[in-house]
Chain A
Amino acid sequence: GAGVSQSPSNKVTEKGKDVELRCDPISGHTALYWYRQSLGQGLEFLIYFQGNSAPDKSGLPSDRFSAERTGGSVSTLTIQRTQQEDSAVYLCASSSWLFGAQETQYFGPGTRLLVL
């Protein structure tokens, strides 16, 4: 079946602009994660969705970052008033539940964001 997809693949924006990054999880996967991969910080957790709710937003670095998920499927990560330090690869992952346990996370190809 289809894997996790993300769009756009690459995004170049000017400092101060808002950007939206999209994630389409594997069909049927109710758990969805956003991670950020940057040279200085490595891979960091941002936010977790179970269905349409986000029980764990502890990794969001500032209130400029927000995310939503609709219909238990597609998720959008929004960064307002982008800063140069937001430049990174943003990865999305999804997983399913089996017998009450959450399964392995499968990743999308990421969106590379460059803030000029």
Chain B
Amino acid sequence: AQTVTQSQPEMSVQEAETVTLSCTYDTSESDYYLFWYKQPPSRQMILVIRQEAYKQQNATENRFSVNFQKAAKSFSLKISDSQLGDAAMYFCAYRSTAWAGSYQLTFGKGTKLSVIP
């Protein structure tokens, strides 16, 4: 079974600065998807960014980018020019491409990000 580990339960960043959230995972599969979801106090899980394991290029979405190191099984999220609205819980998630009855997501425990004005 796959596992996802987020080793930073809480982090903080000054507004306009850059912060990196860490995620490692364990799998024996060669093809899979990785995601970062954001969950603000409203509870709505919002997709931040997605990475396909077969792609060598790191995914980027505006101020959000990832550092995907497949051999190291590492998938960190970098948030540039942090804004107050970035304050939320961030979850790293893994999804297999192999059919096992479903394509359920396996989540890490989350990192709570605070943004300091």
**Tally of chain A residues near chain B (CB < 8 A):** 25
Task: State how many residues of chain B have any CB contact under 8 Å with chain A.
Answer: 22
B42 at the interface (CB under 8 A from A): yes
Which B residues are in CB contact (< 8 Å) with A12? none
B45 near A104: Cβ-Cβ < 8 Å: no
Contact B107 A43 (CB under 8 A): yes
Distance of B3 from chain A, by nearest CB (Å) = 11
Which listed residue, B50, B100, B107, touches A42 by the CB 8 Å rule?
A: B107
Contacting pair B45 A45 (CB below 8 A): no
Interface of A, secondary structure class, is strand
Contacts of B108 in A (CB 8 A): 42
Q: Is the interface of B mostly helix, strand, loop or mixed?
A: loop
A89 at interface, CB cutoff 8 A: yes
Contact of A55 among B44, B101, B106 (CB under 8 A): B101
**B11 contacts the other chain (CB 8 A):** no
Using CB atoms, name the residue of chain A closest to B35. Answer: A104
CB-defined contacts of B104 to chain A, threshold 8 Å: 33, 45, 48, 56, 59
CB contacts under 8 Å to B, within A67-116, are: 89, 91, 93, 95, 101-102, 104-110, 112
B residues near A (Cβ < 8 Å) are 35, 37, 42-47, 50, 91, 97, 100-110
Which positions in A face B, CB cutoff 8 Å?
Answer: 31, 33, 35, 42-43, 45, 48, 55-56, 58-59, 89, 91, 93, 95, 101-102, 104-110, 112
